[in-house]
Amino acid sequence: MTRVYLSVGSNEGDRLECLRRAVAALREMAGVDFLDASPLYLTEPWERQPGAIGEDQGWFFNCAVCIDTELSPMDLLERLQAVEAALGRVRAGGTPEDQRYRARPLDIDILLYGTEVISASERLHVPHLLMHERAFVLRPLADLAPEAEHPILYQTVAEILEGLDDEHQVHRSDLPSRWFL
């Protein structure tokens, strides 16, 4: 089994219900042992420039999830994308950059897959290419695994977060820390 950390977020529809259903799907997924989820954070969406896709989108609920899995990284990605689709995510055309800034009912990203570094295709890069730049990823991840080490930067999540230069607002939700139960 490999320890894997995921980022899970929603900014469209009933965000809390969508995240609860996503965690429930992870708990039932064959080949996956769900271990924990961070508290929820209310996070400002990333915007590129005025008029960009997503300029007026709502704020996200974000969390980090810890699982152990026997699935390969690509098999896990395919199952996570099936959960996204089942919960209403539609992957529209356009570049990966365009997709990154669209509102969505659910987004699940693989942040860390053990200590592996993977660039298998356009679809999968581990560690997640932008995790070290984003407070909405690092703050929830630090709740679960502050000592987890980024396998390229050789810094812990806590160290990366401490040096982070991200001015987007990230607020811990007042929902109970076990919001997913």
From 102, 104, 134, 139, active-site residue: 104
- Kindly tell me the number of DSSP H helices and DSSP E strands found in the chain: 5, 8
- 68 tagged catalytic: no
- 109 tagged catalytic: yes
Angle subtended at Cα 58 by Cα 160 and Cα 109, rounded to the nearest 5 degrees: 45
Task: Say whether 19 sits in a helix, a strand or coil.
Answer: helix
Q: How far apart are CA 106 and CA 8, in angstroms?
A: 7
Q: Which residues contact 88 (CB under 8 A, 6 or more apart)?
A: 12, 13, 18, 105, 106
- 104 tagged catalytic: yes
Alpha helices in 29-134 (DSSP H): 73-86, 96-100
Q: Is residue 26 packed enough to be buried (19+ CB in 10 Å), middle (13-18) or exposed (0-12)?
A: buried
- 100 tagged catalytic: no
From 107, 134, 139, 143, active-site residue: 107
From 21, 79, 89, 139, active-site residue: 89
From 109, 134, 139, 143, active-site residue: 109
Q: Is residue 124 packed enough to be buried (19+ CB in 10 Å), middle (13-18) or exposed (0-12)?
A: middle
Looking at the annotation, which residues are catalytic?
89, 104, 107, 109
